[in-house]
Every structure is written in C-alpha cells, then in structure tokens.
Amino acid sequence: MSPSQSVYRVPVRTQSQSGLQQPRPIQHPQQLHQQPQYPTPYSPPAQRSSRPYSAMPALPAPVDPLYQIFSSVDKDGSGRLSAGELRSALVNFDKTKFDPETIKLMIKLFDSDGSGTIDYTEFKRLWNYLGEWLEQFQRFDLDHNTTISLDEFSLALQSFGFQFTPNFVRFMFSHYDKRGTGAISFDLFVQANINLQRIYDAFKKYDTGQGTIQIGFEDLLTEVLYLK
C-alpha cells in the first residue's frame, strides 16, 4: 500500500582529453528538481573538438500511487484529510463508502497529533493497517463473495481467541450488520473486531486472571468514554 534514496549512475556523453567518450555520473532524478532545469552550458577548450555537448534528458521522478489517492481526496489542498475526505478515499468491494463509525475509529487510531484529521504520513500507516485487515477478511470469506456471513464471523472470532456463546455471536453479528443484508462488509468487519479488541484490552486491565472483574463506577465510565 518510499522511494529509494540511493544514487543511480546514468552514463552521459562527455569528451575526455583523449577524445574518447567517458561516462559521467549524475544524481538520482529526485534530486534534480533542486538543481537548474538545464545543465550548465559546456565550453570545450580551444584545442579540443568543438563538437556540441549533448546531455541525456532528465528521467521523470517516480510517482507514488498512494500519494495520488491522498491528493485526489484532499479537496481543500490542506495536506490533511478530514473525516469526509477520508471517507471518499475508502470504499468496500461493492463501491459503498466506509461506515462513518469506521472512519471515526480510523481517525482515533491514527491521528497522532490530535488534530482530528489525517496527514499523509498517518494516511500511509492507516492504509497499511487496513491492508493487514484485508488479509484477515479474505481469509475468512470462505465463499469469496466479498462479505462475511454469520458462520464466517463466528469462525473469525474463534480464530482470534474469543469463545462466545452462539447467541452472543448472533447478537454481535446483527449489531454490525447495519445494512440488514445478513452479511458484514469489509469496513464493518474491521469496525467489529477493532472495537472488540479495544473492549477486551480495557477488560484485561482489571482482570486478575479469573475471567471476571470488579470495577468501580468511575472506572467503568472512564473506560466507556475513552472507547467512544
């Protein structure tokens, strides 16, 4: 979902004192934009051939496809994506936009400076993170119909180490089947599992190893408000 900073050596035709063609190194194309657009005119010594100097044209800098996506949805050119702009960049297999709650969750996870927006560095991390979840989604999409059924959802939860009763799995599945189709799209699969993991992490802070916890009301409210 960063270009190499190494220096390439591209042969450019120049004249040596012996009259033979010698390779002349130039910098990587990414560094050329910091230099004059055209090479400094070459003036050969009088005793040498007056054959005109010819330089190889500058190679185009490599294009980052992910930055193109980022720029295309950064409508105000601020260098940051709002929730609405980020939603324009993220779609499911059926071309539907991500659920607003999933977008809110992504910003909460990757907005490292608390601006409420996502810059390009944060966007790259977010994109790679979703790529990892996509691998999990495709792993459990056993019939390859680009959605997760109840049985597939149950299998995913078991694989992640959660041992829930069938009734609770059905309840949780129906909660995230927000479109009422009897299936969960990629964005809602991500939302369900991230929320589940966050709640589990909060639970583990108070669990003494018995699988049950005692928690004060203030602590409970703190955890609930943090998860929102």
Percent of the chain clearing pLDDT 70 (strictly above): 73
Which DSSP string do the residues of the chain spell out, in sequence order?
-----PPP----EEE-TTS-EEE-----HHHHTTS-SSPPPP---TTS--PPP--PPPPPPPP-HHHHHHHHH-TT-SSEE-HHHHHHH-B-TTSPBPPHHHHHHHHHHH-TTSSSSEEHHHHHHHHHHHHHHHHHHHHH-TT-SSSB-HHHHHHHHHHTT----HHHHHHHHHHH-TT-SSSB-HHHHHHHHHHHHHHHHHHHTT--SSS-----HHHHHHHHHHH-
Tens of pLDDT along 172-204?
999 999 989 999 999 999 999 999 998 888 888
The model's confidence at residue 15, banded by pLDDT at 50, 70 and 90, is very low
Q: Average per-residue pLDDT in the chain?
A: 80
The predicted model scores a pTM of 0.69
pLDDT attached to residue 9: 41
Q: Does residue 23 have a pLDDT over 70?
A: no
pLDDT attached to residue 74: 94
Tens of pLDDT along 94-152?
999 999 999 999 999 999 999 999 999 999 999 999 999 999 999 999 999 999 999 99
Tens of pLDDT along 85-101?
999 999 999 999 999 99
Which carries the bigger pLDDT value, residue 226 or residue 9? 226
Q: Which CATH number fits domain 65-227: 3.30.565.10, 1.10.238.10, 3.30.70.20, 1.20.1530.20?
A: 1.10.238.10
The model's confidence at residue 7, banded by pLDDT at 50, 70 and 90, is very low
Where do the structural domains in the chain lie, given as residue ranges? 65-227
Averaged pLDDT, 46-61? 58
